[in-house]
Chains A and B, each alone.
Chain A
Amino acid sequence: MLDTQKRHRNTILNFAAIGVLIVFLLIIDGIGSVKLEQAFALFAIWGIAAVSLNLINGTTGILSLGHHGFMLIGGYITALLILSSESRARIANSARSQMNEFTLGLSIKNWFEALGLNALATDDTLWLRFIVAIVIGGIISMIFGLIVGIPSLRLRGDYLAIVTFGFGEIIRLLASTRLFAPFTNGSLGFSGVPSEFGKSLWWTFGFLAITVFVMAKLKYSSYGRALQGIREDEIAAEAMGVNLAYHKVLAFAISAFFAGIAGGLWVSWLATARLDVFLFTLTFFFLVAVSVGGTGSVTGVLIGTALVVFVRQYGDPLEESYTLWQWLLAGGVLLLAAAVATLIYRNIRRLRPRLNASIYIVVGLGIIALLIGLFAASGGQLQSEYRAFGMRAIILSALLVIIMIFKPDGILGQAEFNWAWLFRERKDQPTDEERAQDAWLTGPELSKRLEAAETREASAETAGESSEAN
């Protein structure tokens, strides 16, 4: 197929995929399960955050740990700007309110009314005010991104990671100080944030689509290549004319903008804005999504996000209380599964011996656990109930460890899902003709021998001809 044909095919397939996604969302919407819808909306919101974090961590190769700080800024600003008059009145009447007249009046509704745009200040047009608010949140978050980007010019690696981590925490602390409490209502935060956007599949996936579009197009543009150049080798990138300062700050700013958007949707999804919903764990989740999915790959990060959100939303059973024998059974099954997985892995990698001592030990422990769980179930001790708080985080951490050991680049690595890959079209594989030419170029010895053979043949031919002529 010609390149242009392929491009047309890919465009058509892209639209088809978007169509399928829309149908899929319609079906989810139609099922009407609140839990399912919330999980998908959360996937989209965290997807925005993880994909934007990936621009710094994956594409530019700077470890940044302050993403929750950017989300906090976007989240609080969005919440404040669209908070309903009733909620404001409640805060104003509350004795513990930390807000003042001025900050309580910070509302897009008020601004529109002041401009005489009463049509835009009705309940029906809240969506418009939401867009304005979330974009303002994104822009202010972006300004903070510029500020955090500046240390990235002088610091590298671990040092910079610590600075970004500190920044995320400082933002959270600042938000509760006397200076900023009037804007954030201190530790009380806001409740009753309009939640019809963050919980809506259409709004969240709409923003996710925009984010993915921008990030993917950016990655495959000249700017994206420059950022990847910085990741690969900063000194070389600079020696090839890439302005490190500009591009690093640019990456931080774009990333922070989308983190701010994610923050706005996040408070809407939660219907509250409080300081404890912007903890470092949030950034940790995104880091897991980025590392597990594929550092640098937008599609990979979305796969990672899906895993993380699934564990978070459907991991409740992990943290309920079970009797000890049930725990033993689960542990036994897990141990046996681990042994089987190791066996398969060793087989694929052709590691010898196929069975080593540790596998025997793991299998033995697994069988013992199963036996005790099954046959000693009636024993008094085994009937007592235990509960594993934080099991979800443990599972995610274990997932991260496993991926880091077996596939350090993440599931997709830096590769991106695309149609050419699906159709096994590989531009980096030679055609037979090219392979022959390449052999000639790279193996002069071989080609010399081939040439010699050819001349021998040719001379034999001419010899034959001359004998014929005789």
Chain B
Amino acid sequence: MAMLEIDDINKSFGGLQAITDLNLKVNEGEIVSVIGPNGAGKTTLFNLITGVYKPDVGDIRFEGNSITGLKPDQIVDRGIARTFQNLRLFTNLTVLENVLIPQHHKLKSTWFSAVFRTPGYLRREQQMREQALEKLSFFGPRLMSFRLYQPVYVLSYANRRRTEMARAMATGAKLLLLDEPSAGMNPKETAEITQIIKRMRDEGGYTILLVEHKMNLVSEISDRVVVLDYGQKIAEGDYQDVVNDPKVIEAYLGKKAEGDEAQNDQLTEGDGRTS
């Protein structure tokens, strides 16, 4: 049984069919990349898995149990967490607080014992802190020491991306959905984040589903690549097989014929950009 099983989901926004009959399986310990042109429905897929939207039809199962129709916080409880393409950090709070909040849902203490700082609560608070530091240390020393106490709004863009990844890890989820983790990063930072994602799987034991436009990142870490176009899965498999698939080339080059030149670059070189 796969960890995440998506069965024939559909999602439309008014007249726009954003996801059509999509099937997807993610096995434990895998790194699966979802690629596709802009507007292909990649983020919508993430929103469906994490409960931001409910699929019109179809079922999503996690570890064998259906999570369709659950609210986002319940899905986090089950063990799926995400990052956002456009960053949604708690901007006025510190880095440490940002990585503590995702652990709140596991807290058993009542608000009353939290206010009166019962020994049980203090122990949990200590554990949460250790967890937070452990997750932040994935990114080396740059988010540690004094940075812990800096509000997020002073961080650089790359550091915000890192904080968001640490925040998703801190939820205690087993499956992480990363929406363009390297967006806005320079080549050196991208190379580094590639290694970190690998380590997240190898050392952290996370299963990872990610959306990316930078093909060098995708080719380096993906066990499997899924290509979406107009909400449909048009290819799935090894990176090499997928990029040589005529349908995929058409999806990207077809766009080029329509005048969008950036798409072709993405396939070959993988120039970083956000949208």
Contacts and interface: CB of A to CB of B under 8 A. Distances in A.
B10 interface: no
Interface stretch (B57-65, B72-80, B207-215, B263-271): B72-80
A49 B121 CA distance: 28
B275 interface: no
B128 interface: yes
A222 B73 contact: no
Nearest to B145: A434
B93 A240 contact: no
A221 B118 CA distance: 11
Given A217-B115, A222-B107, A444-B188, A427 B149 contact: yes
A378 interface: no
A239 B100 contact: no
B119 interface: no
A118 interface: no
Contacts of A36: none
Size band of the A side of the interface? 35 or more
Given A225-B100, A239-B76, A428 B140 contact: no
Nearest to A433: B145
Given A223-B114, A228-B97, A243 B73 contact: yes
Name the residue in A241, A242, A414 with the highest tally of chain B Cβ atoms < 10 Å from its Cβ: A241
A460 interface: no
A380 to B, nearest CB: 59
A229 B73 contact: no
A441 interface: yes
Nearest to B167: A240
Interface residues of B, number: 51
Interface string A229-243: 100110111111111
B101 interface: yes
Contacts of A226: 101, 104
B97 A225 contact: yes
Nearest to B158: A442
A239 B88 contact: yes
Contacts of A254: 111
A86 B37 CA distance: 81
A225 B156 contact: no
B81 A240 contact: yes
A238 B104 CA distance: 11
Nearest to A431: B146
A1 B147 CA distance: 19
Output the residue of A228, A237, A240, A430 with the most chain B CB within 10 A. Answer: A240
A25 interface: no
Contact of B73 (A223, A238, A414, A441): A238
A319 interface: no
Contact of A222 (B71, B88, B104): B104
Contact of A241 (B91, B104, B151): B104
B81 A222 contact: no
A441 B146 CA distance: 14
Interface in A156-202: none
Contacts of A250: 111
A42 to B, nearest CB: 26
A383 interface: no
A221 B146 contact: no
B91 A225 contact: no
Contacts of B124: 222
Nearest to B102: A240
Contact of B146 (A223, A242, A429): A429
A438 interface: yes
B98 to A, nearest CB: 8
Interface string A205-217: 0000000001001
B68 interface: no
A236 B145 CA distance: 25
Given A241-B76, A429-B146, A232 B92 contact: yes
B90 interface: yes
A429 B149 CA distance: 8
A437 interface: yes
A221 B145 contact: no
Given A225-B93, A239-B81, A241-B171, A434 B73 contact: no
Contacts of A218: 111, 114-115
A244 interface: yes
B141 A441 contact: yes
A238 B52 CA distance: 9
A236 B90 contact: yes
A234 to B, nearest CB: 10
For the complex of A and B, list the 7 residue pairs with the smallest distance between their C-beta atoms, beginning with the closest.
Answer: A241-B105, A241-B76, A236-B88, A232-B90, A221-B114, A427-B149, A240-B102
18 contacts: A217-B117, A221-B114, A225-B104, A236-B89, A239-B72, A240-B101, A240-B167, A241-B77, A242-B73, A242-B101, A242-B105, A250-B111, A427-B146, A428-B94, A428-B150, A430-B146, A442-B142, A442-B156
Given A221-B111, A239-B50, A254-B111, 9 more contacts: A217-B116, A221-B115, A226-B104, A232-B92, A232-B93, A233-B91, A240-B101, A242-B73, A441-B141
